[in-house]
Structure 1
Amino acid sequence: MITAYKHNIHQDIHTTSLDEGLWINMIEPSREEVEKLIEDFNIPEDFLKDPLDADESARVEFDDETGYSLIIIDIPIVNKNNHKILSFMTIPLGIVIGHGRLITVCDHDVDFLEHFTKPGNNLHYRSQLALNILVTVSNHYNRNLRLLNKSRLRIERDLKKSVTNKQLYNLMEVEKSLVYFLAALKGNEDVFKRLFKLPPIKRFEEDEDLIEDLFVETNQAIETTELHTRILESITTSYESLLSNDMNTIMKTLTLFTVFLTLPTLVFSFFGMNVPLPINDHSPVSWIVTLCISLVLVTVVFILLWRRGKL
């Protein structure tokens, strides 16, 4: 879907034709729509097709022949394939600037772009609009990090009650989201540092606050992601140790039961191999003596293990 926007006489933003659009928003465009835009505005083919590739890396690029610039950054979206717990993934968002217009390209519905159709945004200042989009993306990372942290805390509370595979799986999904975030934020940070080397991206004095916000929000998101990742690694290591310790305790208990059950079996087996019973083979007291021998052996082994701290 392609939607073009411009200002009316009251400076409100409304939809218009592609030729008059100051901002063209392409969300999940068809192949025909992409080809039409490439042909109508002489935009480099890879500038519109690369952002639609989920594996495309963040970068900035300038085409000397056409005069268009391309900014590709990664944005966070909810992973809808996982219905059990809130998790995220990242996809590319392309911003093409040149010839008096700004074009955003994404293969997924981006809710926060709707904010830029409201009054107060000026589509004539393309560099400022691009900066506002980038700052909003960084803000979304920080907001989603807070949601992930809430999920982590809830999982931790459940883990304190009982450790189950489901809870560990949920913890793994949170950790996976953080890995996506960290890789995307590092790539975005590199893009922001090279951003103003492009000819169409001009740096104005009134945009300095936006630029500062952009780097502050991005650095905060990176630091928060790294912190949450370290916390999750620590939690995972701790629970691995706990599970290992519980397994050792269980194996130790089973081994002790095996030892204590084996001793009477040895005694009874010994007297069961045509060996004369104590006192008399026909005496009713003989089986009591045999039982006492077994209990003595068990008691001796118990005392030895207790003194060595094995119990």
Structure 2
Amino acid sequence: MVQEIQMIKYYELRDGVLTLVKNPQDVSGLTWCDVHLDKSRASPNDELKLVSTMFKINIHDLKDTTDLTERPRYNYDMLLENQFMLLRGIMSDQLDLSAEVENPTIPIGIFYTIDEKIVTVHSIDSPEFTNIIETLDKRKITKPIFLFLEFIQIIFNRLDKASYNISLKINEIQKHIGSSRDARKRGIPFKLNSYMIFFNAAMMGNYNAFQAFMDKNKSTFEADAALYEKVDDLKIDIKQIYQFTSIYRDQVNNLVEQANNIINNNLNNIFKVVGSISLLVSIPTLIASFYGMNVGLPGGIEDGKFISFYIIIGISFTVSFVTWLFFRKLDWL
């Protein structure tokens, strides 16, 4: 009997219907094994070792699916003759820039064994994965390879929805970026820019991984028209997601530049106000400083030629003029 673990679920595909199997006797009748990683556990090695033994999958590939920094890729194990695709899925298709998340995507592993068994490893709590049977009941699955592609379709659909939400957020920012006086809102373009860097890079990696998968199985897909059409649709989907997110990233870069310009303009306006106030204050200060000198002043009660006063004024203007020339030479003025 196959060991039953709560975070691992087993399914069989029979007559186009996917059915949950509890306490399976062996893996021969199984079609799909789903491993839902528990985020609270740092290293679910026992579960991964069990799956590795049951389905003859490289344990290192399984562990790669738990590495949050792992890049998307496709790998064919020549020894075990298994196919492994690691894609970056979205943690939430709802764009939340308030969350302190460095990378909005996480790895999802999909394995296709030589005996047509499918193993998925993920930590996403999405309705699509939770209600997978209801989702797939709407489609007639005839072969395990179609089921394999359906999982990829689920991942791409969530990424497409996230991409759409990004476009809505960009439109919202464009409408209010010039009029908002809230400093926190002005920082949103910078957060979105960081978000888009990771998201766009993940989409490029997903596209390259899926392209490698297509190249490896080209002859198989070309032999089945329905299979080829499904794969081609998926390729178009991920390519469009990547292209759109590239456009969105450029738009976000423009928003960041616009935000920087607004900040610089605001600083310039502040400096102008401060400079004007300083000039207004300096005029009475200058007059008061003249009449505070311990020398004879024109208009004062002292008699004489006031030569000391004129010497001081001359020296002051000379020093100011030399300083002005020096600043001009350095392009400071």
Tell which deviates more after alignment, 198-207 or 28-37.
198-207
Distance 1:83 1:6 in 2: 40
**1:139 is aligned to 2:139:** no
Q: Give 1:93 deviation, angstroms.
A: 1.0
1:278 alignment partner AA: G
Aligned-residue CA RMSD (Å): 3.0
Corresponding residue SS for 1:245: helix
Q: Which residue of 2 aligns with 1:3?
A: 9
Q: Which residue of 2 aligns with 1:28?
A: 37
Q: Which residue of 2 aligns with 1:235?
A: 255
Q: CA, structure 1 residues 276+96, in 2 after alignment: closer, same or farther (shift >3 Å)?
A: closer
Q: Which residue of 2 aligns with 1:278?
A: 299
Corresponding residue SS for 2:178: helix
2:74 to 57, 60, 69: 60
Distance 1:200 1:212 in 2: 11
Q: Which residue of 2 aligns with 1:102?
A: 118
TM-score (norm: length of structure 2):
0.74
Q: CA, structure 1 residues 157+258, in 2 after alignment: closer, same or farther (shift >3 Å)?
A: same
Query: Does the CA-based 8 Å contact 1:54-1:91 persist in structure 2?
Result: yes
Q: Which residue of 2 aligns with 1:309?
A: none
Distance 2:183 2:139 in 1: 49
**1:188 is aligned to 2:189:** no
Alpha-carbon deviations, 1:185-241, whole Å to 9, x = none? Answer: 111111121113446993121123222221221121112111111111111112212
1:90 alignment partner AA: T
Q: CA, structure 1 residues 66+263, in 2 after alignment: closer, same or farther (shift >3 Å)?
A: same
Q: Which residue of 1 aligns with 2:166?
A: 148
**1:127 is aligned to 2:145:** yes
Alpha-carbon deviations, 1:35-71, whole Å to 9, x = none? Answer: 1122233222123221121122211222232221111
1:22 alignment partner AA: T
Distance 2:218 2:297 in 1: 105
Alpha-carbon deviations, 1:228-284, whole Å to 9, x = none? Answer: 111111111122122212212221232232223212222222223354573769xxx
Q: Which residue of 2 aligns with 1:15?
A: 20
Query: Does the CA-based 8 Å contact 2:9-2:33 persist in structure 1?
Result: yes
Query: Does the CA-based 8 Å contact 1:89-1:177 persist in structure 2?
Result: yes
Q: CA, structure 1 residues 103+122, in 2 after alignment: closer, same or farther (shift >3 Å)?
A: farther
Q: CA, structure 1 residues 224+21, in 2 after alignment: closer, same or farther (shift >3 Å)?
A: same
TM-score (norm: length of structure 1):
0.79
Corresponding residue SS for 2:287: helix
Distance 1:162 1:188 in 2: 37
1:76 alignment partner AA: I
Unaligned runs of 5+ in 2: 1-6, 39-43, 303-333
Query: Does the CA-based 8 Å contact 2:173-2:189 persist in structure 1?
Result: yes
Aligned length: 280
Query: Does the CA-based 8 Å contact 1:62-1:69 persist in structure 2?
Result: yes
Q: Give 1:120 deviation, angstroms.
A: 4.2
**1:90 is aligned to 2:96:** no
1:38 alignment partner AA: S
Q: CA, structure 1 residues 233+218, in 2 after alignment: closer, same or farther (shift >3 Å)?
A: same
